[in-house]
Structure 1
Amino acid sequence: MELAKVTSKGQVTIPVEIRRKLGIKNGDKVLFMEEGGRIYMMNSSMDAFREAQRAFSGEAQQAGLNSEEDVVRMIKELRQESVVK
């Protein structure tokens, strides 16, 4: 457990160990979420990445991309199409 003090402006310094665990760097934004009466803080970039993963879940299989080789083949085909145009 870490402890931080709130300033008169409502600012809090996030302890270094918490920043490391959340992958928060200088200039990053943090997200506060309420769930079940508890407040959670997370790295907003990681939350956006997880949301994108959920949104694209299953899309590769639907496109017939089941292996890395399939992805490489598709990229080569797309590059070839763009050169021909």
Structure 2
Amino acid sequence: MELAKITTRGQITIPAEIRKKLGVKDGDKVIFVEENGRIIIENAAMVALKNAQAAFAGEAERVGLKAEQDVVDMVKGVRREVWEERHARND
């Protein structure tokens, strides 16, 4: 268990061991989440990443991407479309 003191401005210093466990460093942001009457502190970047992963869950299957090569082929196709669009305007 770690202890932190609140300053008169409502600030705390997160103990080094807790920062290490959260994977945060100077300038990073943390998020406070209320869950079952408790306040949980989390690495804001990791929460954003988890939310993005959840939002994209199932999208690869939905668009028919089953293997890494499918992704490579899709990227090549998009690049080809962009190239053709740019060059079509330059005629």
Q: State the secondary structure of the residue aligned to 1:39.
A: strand
Q: Map of 1:1-85 to 2, 5 A cutoff?
A: 1-85=1-85
Please report the TM-score for the alignment, with normalisation by the length of structure 2: 0.87
Tell me how far apart the structure 2 counterparts of residues 72 and 16 of structure 1 sit (CA, whole Å): 42
Unaligned runs of 5+ in 1: none
Q: State the secondary structure of the residue aligned to 2:11.
A: coil
RMSD over aligned CA atoms reads 0.9
Unaligned runs of 5+ in 2: 86-91
Tell me how far apart the structure 2 counterparts of residues 60 and 26 of structure 1 sit (CA, whole Å): 35
Q: State the secondary structure of the residue aligned to 1:33.
A: strand
The one-letter code of the counterpart of 1:39 is I
Q: Percent of aligned pairs with the same residue?
A: 56
Please report the TM-score for the alignment, with normalisation by the length of structure 1: 0.93
Structure 1 consecutive aligned stretches of length 4 or more whose deviation exceeds 4 Å: none
Tell me how far apart the structure 1 counterparts of residues 29 and 20 of structure 2 sit (CA, whole Å): 14
Report the structure number with the largest CA radius of gyration: 2
How many residues get paired?
Answer: 85
The one-letter code of the counterpart of 1:7 is T
Q: State the secondary structure of the residue aligned to 2:46.
A: helix
The one-letter code of the counterpart of 1:23 is G
